[in-house]
Amino acid sequence: RATLLTGECSVLHRTKMWLFITVAYLLQATVSPEGLKRVKRDHVDPEAYMNISELITYRGYPSEEYEVVTEDGYILNINRIPYGIENQGNTVVKPAVFLQHGLLGDASNWVTNLANNSLGFILADAGYDVWMGNNRGNTWSRRHMNLSVEKEEFWSFSFDEMAKFDLPAVLNFIMQKTGQEQLYYVGYSQGATIALITFSTMPQLAKRIKLYFALAPVTTVKYARSPAVKLLHLPEMLLRGLLGRKELFHQSEWLRKLIVSFCGHSIFAKLCGNVFFILGGYNVNNINMSRVNVYVARAPAGTSAQNIIHWSQIVHSGEFQAYNWRSRTKNMAKYAQATPPLYKIKDMTVPTAIWTGGKDLLADLKDINILLPQIINLVHYKNIPEWAHLDFIWGLDAPLRMYNEIVDLMEKNP
């Protein structure tokens, strides 16, 4: 045991050392000594310090918040824009649409750009009742009926549980609250992943989805070129030692203020932006760099180490499958079989529209080509050659090249 602890401490020490070297390298590549002497703090957007409801009302839109309790006791916070500025006096029932963020994201992903450039606001102005989710473990969903976030048991989940518990609880809550029998679903990255699982394993719930919009869906990651995915190729035992057994990438209030202040300097804005681009691909000219401090104020929003381990298992196996508990007994208890089952995407019959990016380092087109034949009710597919992973939520041309198409498809499929 002592030897194991010593080994883990050594690994963590080396990790911190390499992290320091990496940051130092990025800094020296971004700024010069002369530049550091002249550095001054630029204007920090007030939105950087707002919560999601405040972001919404800041733009003049109505905001509501709700708590949803999952079957296994997690308390999820969800946000709502019940109507848009363009249709405030319209009492007609507005069709519900649910937006689900990706890995390390939160509901703010849909409202952090200007009103004419954020999907949440665009859908509200188009006449829809917009709901936005927050997965268990992120900044806004860190509570449980019985467990403390300090307990390892709280963090014993991956996107398996998000698909099995979070998504059904939230979707059923929305339909009950609005009195609507069906709704639209928009999922980005891991938000698209969990929908594939839920809709292929819960046919009764799947029947209540009018259209499923998958933005940069990630399933297999055989061909992903992101440096983050390269780290997932590490042996699982080593990765577990590095990540621990609880949460990862949680942004506390003091850390958020530090990051926002740092990225509020124009001389560091490029560095802050590069952190995002390194993970998902470069398309710098399509991102509003003046809003980087707003983006970094909420991203990453945190997840569990087990969720990252699950993605690592998929990297190693090359298969889109459930989490492997590395215990025959636990696997049998969870899945009634000794090994984790493969997800059967072909069992999903929901009408599906998919958008992908040619420069996406996470949802690589080769992996997408493995996914597409499994979608048996594909009603729309579009690849945007210039797009990387962030363009789907923050791209300056996203309204023209994708959001307008989403609205058009919704109008044609009421």
Q: What is the pLDDT of residues 30-67, one digit of tens each?
A: 433 344 334 344 566 788 889 999 999 999 999 999 99
Residue 278: predicted pLDDT: 77
Whether the pLDDT of residue 267 is over 90: the answer is no
Region at 242 (left for phi over 0; alpha for psi -120 to 50; beta for the rest)? alpha
| Average pLDDT of the residues in 310-331 | 95
- Rounded to two decimals, the pTM is 0.88
Q: Give the range of the structural domain holding residue 125, as residue numbers without chain letter.
A: 51-412
Q: How many domains does the chain have?
A: 1
The answer to whether residue 13 sits within a structural domain is no
Across the chain, mean pLDDT equals 88
Residue 366: predicted pLDDT: 96
Residues 65 and 170 sit within 8 Å (Cβ to Cβ): no
Q: Is the dihedral of CA 58, 60, 61, 66 positive or negative?
A: positive
The answer to whether residue 235 sits within a structural domain is yes
Residues 307 and 103 sit within 8 Å (Cβ to Cβ): yes
pLDDT tens digits, one per residue of 55-100: 999 999 999 999 999 999 999 999 999 999 977 777 788 999 999 9
The answer to whether residue 121 sits within a structural domain is yes
CATH code (residue 364): 3.40.50.1820
In 169-328, at which residue ranges do the beta strands (DSSP E only) sit? 183-188, 209-215, 247-248, 303-304
Q: What percent of the chain has pLDDT over 70?
A: 88
The answer to whether residue 11 sits within a structural domain is no
What tokens were used for 162? 């998000």
**Nearest-CA neighbor of 154 among 138, 170, 134, 173?**
138
Residue 42: predicted pLDDT: 54
pLDDT tens digits, one per residue of 335-354: 999 999 999 999 999 999 99
Whether the pLDDT of residue 148 is over 70: the answer is yes
Sort strands 129-132 and 74-81 into parallel, antiparallel or unpaired. antiparallel
The answer to whether residue 23 sits within a structural domain is no
The answer to whether residue 39 sits within a structural domain is no
Out of 44-48, 123-127, 175-179, 373-377, least confident range? 44-48
The answer to whether residue 120 sits within a structural domain is yes
The answer to whether residue 256 sits within a structural domain is yes
Residue 229: predicted pLDDT: 87
Confidence of residue 127 (pLDDT cuts 50, 70, 90): very high
Report the alpha-carbon distance of residue 96 to residue 407 in Å, rounded: 13
Catalytically annotated residues: 189, 360, 389
Whether the pLDDT of residue 160 is over 80: the answer is yes
